[in-house]
A and B are shown apart, each in its own frame.
Chain A
Amino acid sequence: MNHLLIMLPMLIPLYGAILSLFSWRYVRAQQFIGILTQVCLLIATFLLLFDVNENGIRTTQIGSWPAPFGITLVADLFSSMMVITSAITGMAIYLFSIKGLDKARQTFGYYPVLLILQLGVSGACLTGDLFNMFVWFEVLLICCFVLIALGGTKPQLEGAIKYVTINFLATGFLLTGIGVVYGIMGSLNLAELAVLVRTPVSHPALITMAGMFFLIAFGIKAAIFPLFFWLPASYHTPPIAISAFIAGILTKVGMYALIRLFTLIFVTDQELTIPLFTVLAGFTMVIGVFGAASQNDFRKILSFHIVSQIGYMLMGLALFTPLAIAGSIYFIIHNILVKTNLFLISGVVAHRHGSFALKKLGGVYLQQPLLSVLFFISAFSLAGIPPFSGFWGKFMLAKAGFEIDSFVIVFVSLAVSLITIFSMTKIWNEVFWKKKPVSDPLLEVMTEREKHDNRLLHLPVVMLVGFILFIGLYAEPVVAMAQLAAEQLLNSELYINAVLKK
């Protein structure tokens, strides 16, 4: 049963996707299968998280081949938390897509591709094998390629070509890094690698070099400075249901891989990696937030903020104390929910008012007060105002920074928070508060049906805000879990023993 529990986050989306493909012509059936899959996935991931929280790290060997030889699946707290967050986001996206995505795209395989994307996310988080991780990243990237290009409008094609090219290069780097690791150590199992790098005969310089390949590869996927340029150029081009999912999940899976590898394997040369990460984290935060400040499109502001927030996650890795890593983990979970939600809100606004440009929008507060409150909560959460969820992540990071006297990076992170508030205030003023500049009579008059649809679109937003409020207002269990996850990450013995069963 325990072995099945680790497999379920992958099996459920896979079978859901297969069933959706079989009902290709019946969009209704695909929607039904999709929602059913999401509910099952949510339950399975919750059970997995519960199990891992109770009993520690869980592993299973595919085909019963013993650990260093076969493919291992490992579920520790960090990966279980990632998987459950991905399931929550997937649920919200599905609810949104039914009314929020045009019929043409829905009939062309949107649902199965999204499910396979979720399969890739689960796989990348749960695998205990370096090459397997590469394969899962390819699975989710191919789905992203398809989703970004799905529909084939001009901006989408343009965004897709940038996204495909840069991610293809990242894949090449990742594969080269895997090659180097295998060449030095002759294994690809993460636990065995963790043992091998800690033996005295290993070659520290070569291992660091391999680590740099992974830093570049996952750095591109996670959009850290200076490798983020593809993100603001492509993330705003597809329809909002697609943007919201890939903006919420994908960069964080890259970040997950970075944290996993740089706490488990590439820990031999921290005199080099920690200053490097500190500098990268600082620049990622600052550049991202300034990029956002100069934009005047709802989605583009949010896209640049993804980059800025990645900096915070990297900051936890740069400080490298248990509290800092816990802060990173909490921040990743919080950010996936909040970022997806903000994108969805921009989608609801655009569904009603037909635009993403700040200049064209206005007066949403008068027409949709509920949506305004929902945006308000999410935006304050993103900026890190207490008692919302972003505050706790930033608080943990800042406290960890003060504890080891890294004042500069803490100062930068707090200053960036201020500018984040500026961007969110800009959206608030322009979209919700100010009067609508030109009232287009065609858009003003909505049919009852459209109004009904728009109300339905609120459902996923309300659900996500519920989760955001939960992890913000009732933060203690989540923070405690993040701290436990960080301990598991930093205490590699636990991981090694769980996999190799010594």
Chain B
Amino acid sequence: MELILPFLIGILFSASLYLILHRHFFKLILGLILFGLATNLFLFVIGRLTRGGSAIIGQGENVATEPFADPVPQALLLTAIVIGFGIQAFAIVLIKRVYQSFGTTDLDDMSTTDQIEENH
């Protein structure tokens, strides 16, 4: 199980970057979501995986009995998921608005803010 996860994270990262570089709005959104997932999964795995040991201190004990899962990455992960969810929701609405006002799905059509305006 521990061996699969690094590969999974790598695949998610590469797939998300591939999709982001595709320059299509829908793929951009998919890429961003996958990128968020990949970082979240990475954060989860980096705290070392422990199965079936919750970090609850039993009655009458001072510390939790080993082995227990590290609760910190899980707390971080929860926060990161919530924040990522908010940003993704915003990005989806933004891209919908962009599609409605520009009528295009190609990021390459959106270069006006970079151009130097000569004849205005």
A359 is an interface residue with CB less than 8 A from chain B: yes
Most buried by B among A162, A179, A296: A179
Main secondary structure of the interface of B (DSSP, over half): helix
Q: B114 near A232 (CB under 8 angstroms)? A: yes
User: Which residues on A are within 8 Å of B, measured CB to CB?
Assistant: 131, 134-135, 138, 141-142, 145-146, 149, 152, 154-155, 157-162, 164-165, 168-169, 171-172, 175-176, 178-180, 182-183, 188, 232-234, 236-237, 294-297, 300, 357, 359-360
Write the B88-120 contact mask toward A (1 if CB under 8 angstroms, else 0).
Answer: 001100110110011000010010111011101
Q: Count A-B contacts at CB 8 Å.
A: 110
Pairs A–B under 8 Å by Cβ, sample size 30? A131-B76, A138-B83, A138-B87, A142-B87, A142-B90, A145-B94, A149-B94, A149-B97, A152-B101, A154-B101, A157-B101, A160-B94, A160-B98, A161-B94, A168-B91, A176-B42, A178-B43, A179-B39, A179-B42, A179-B76, A183-B46, A188-B76, A236-B113, A294-B116, A295-B116, A296-B118, A297-B116, A300-B116, A357-B117, A357-B120
Q: B102 near A188 (CB under 8 angstroms)? A: no
Residues on the B chain within 8 Å of A131, using CB:
76, 79
Q: B32 near A165 (CB under 8 angstroms)? A: yes
Which of A154, A172, A178, A294 makes the CB contact (< 8 A) with B102? A154
Q: A145 near B97 (CB under 8 angstroms)? A: no
Most buried by A among B48, B76, B116: B76
Nearest Cβ distance between residue B25 and chain A, in whole angstroms? Answer: 9
**Number of chain B interface residues as a range:** 35 or more
Nearest Cβ distance between residue A109 and chain B, in whole angstroms? Answer: 14
Bound-state CA distance A142–B82 (Å) is: 13
Q: B94 near A158 (CB under 8 angstroms)? A: no
Q: Given A154-B102, A165-B28, A168-B91, A182 and B73 touching (CB < 8 A)? A: yes
Nearest Cβ distance between residue A290 and chain B, in whole angstroms? Answer: 13
Which of A134, A158, A160 makes the CB contact (< 8 A) with B112? A158
Q: B43 near A179 (CB under 8 angstroms)? A: yes
Write the B29-54 contact mask toward A (1 if CB under 8 angstroms, else 0).
Answer: 00010011011101100111000000
Residues on the B chain within 8 Å of A359, using CB:
120
Bound-state CA distance A359–B120 (Å) is: 8
Nearest Cβ distance between residue A223 and chain B, in whole angstroms? Answer: 15
Q: A135 near B113 (CB under 8 angstroms)? A: no
Bound-state CA distance A158–B91 (Å) is: 12
Select from chain B the residue with minimum beta-carbon distance to A183: B46
Q: B87 near A155 (CB under 8 angstroms)? A: no
Most buried by B among A134, A142, A161: A161
Nearest Cβ distance between residue B91 and chain A, in whole angstroms? Answer: 5
Residues on the B chain within 8 Å of A158, using CB:
98, 102, 110, 112-113
B86 is an interface residue with CB less than 8 A from chain A: yes
Q: A180 near B117 (CB under 8 angstroms)? A: no
Select from chain A the residue with minimum beta-carbon distance to B86: A142
Interface residues of B in 58-88 (CB under 8 A from A): 72-73, 76, 79-80, 83, 86-87
Select from chain B the residue with minimum beta-carbon distance to A132: B79
Nearest Cβ distance between residue B82 and chain A, in whole angstroms? Answer: 10
Q: B86 near A175 (CB under 8 angstroms)? A: no
Q: B101 near A161 (CB under 8 angstroms)? A: no
Bound-state CA distance A145–B35 (Å) is: 19
Nearest Cβ distance between residue A160 and chain B, in whole angstroms? Answer: 6
Bound-state CA distance A171–B98 (Å) is: 22
Q: B90 near A164 (CB under 8 angstroms)? A: yes
Which of B32, B46, B80, B114 makes the CB contact (< 8 A) with A168? B32
Nearest Cβ distance between residue B119 and chain A, in whole angstroms? Answer: 9
Nearest Cβ distance between residue A310 and chain B, in whole angstroms? Answer: 19
